[in-house]
Chains A and B, each alone.
Chain A
Amino acid sequence: DTEVTQTPKHLVMGMTNKKSLKCEQHMGHRAMYWYKQKAKKPPELMFVYSYEKLSINESVPSRFSPECPNSSLLNLHLHALQPEDSALYLCASSQGPYNSPLHFGNGTRLTVT
């Protein structure tokens, strides 16, 4: 079992839909991350929040909008996605940014139709 919880586990959405992915951790970690992973590829960093502030945006298209309401929660708002955005979206947390192991959730499998 993972200490980082992601919901939903699976999501199918059309290109005109708006949906949100949610991530929660209660380990007191102060850094949270969104990664995108395509099949048989490594995770690719999308966003990093450090102490609830966005510290890294890896030039992600604006149709992905992250939000960190508090130190335990991380959301990823999705709007007007493309079929090529279909992937496994992984949330992770760490005690501090840049220097400690990541704890991953089990991801949301997103399919854009």
Chain B
Amino acid sequence: SQQGEEDPQALSIQEGENATMNCSYKTSINNLQWYRQNSGRGLVHLILIRSNEREKHSGRLRVTLDTSKKSSSLLITASRAADTASYFCATDTGRRALTFGSGTRLQVQP
């Protein structure tokens, strides 16, 4: 069963613009992770944010976590055509394997 829901389901932007994806989840977590999946490939881990952290940066990625609202957001700044992929949040409750959200399909137009 899915723990997280993501919105938007699909997002189309121009190169250079910022892309923001949101993830909501239902139960308490130890950490939340974001993954990227290029078409027909495996998922690649992008960033992990722990439940006691509010914000984390990695290169052009910025992740926020609001445990009171059970939500997270992923911001990709200055997007590139190569950022075109599906992005999934995944919640770690410490009691079972990761559960993935429904995903956001990002299209970056050159």
Number of interface residues of B (CB under 8 A): 27
Of all A-B residue pairs in the complex, the 10 with the closest CB atoms, nearest first, are A104-B42, A42-B100, A101-B45, A106-B42, A104-B43, A48-B97, A106-B41, A45-B97, A105-B42, A42-B103
**Which A residues are in CB contact (< 8 Å) with B69?**
none
B60 within 8 A of A: no
- Chain B hits for A48, CB < 8 A: 97
Pair A42/B44 contact, Cβ less than 8 Å: no
Residues of A within 8 A of B48 (CB): 101
Task: Point out residues on A near B: beta carbons under 8 Å.
Answer: 2, 4, 6, 33, 40-45, 48, 56, 88, 90, 92, 97-99, 101-107, 109
The verdict on B22 contacting chain A, using a C-beta distance below 8 Å, is no
User: How long is the Cα–Cα vector from A64 to B43 in the complex, in angstroms?
Assistant: 22
CB-defined contacts of A88 to chain B, threshold 8 Å: 40
16 CB contacts below 8 A, A to B, read A33-B97, A41-B102, A42-B2, A42-B88, A42-B103, A92-B43, A97-B97, A98-B96, A98-B97, A99-B94, A101-B48, A102-B45, A102-B90, A104-B42, A104-B44, A106-B41
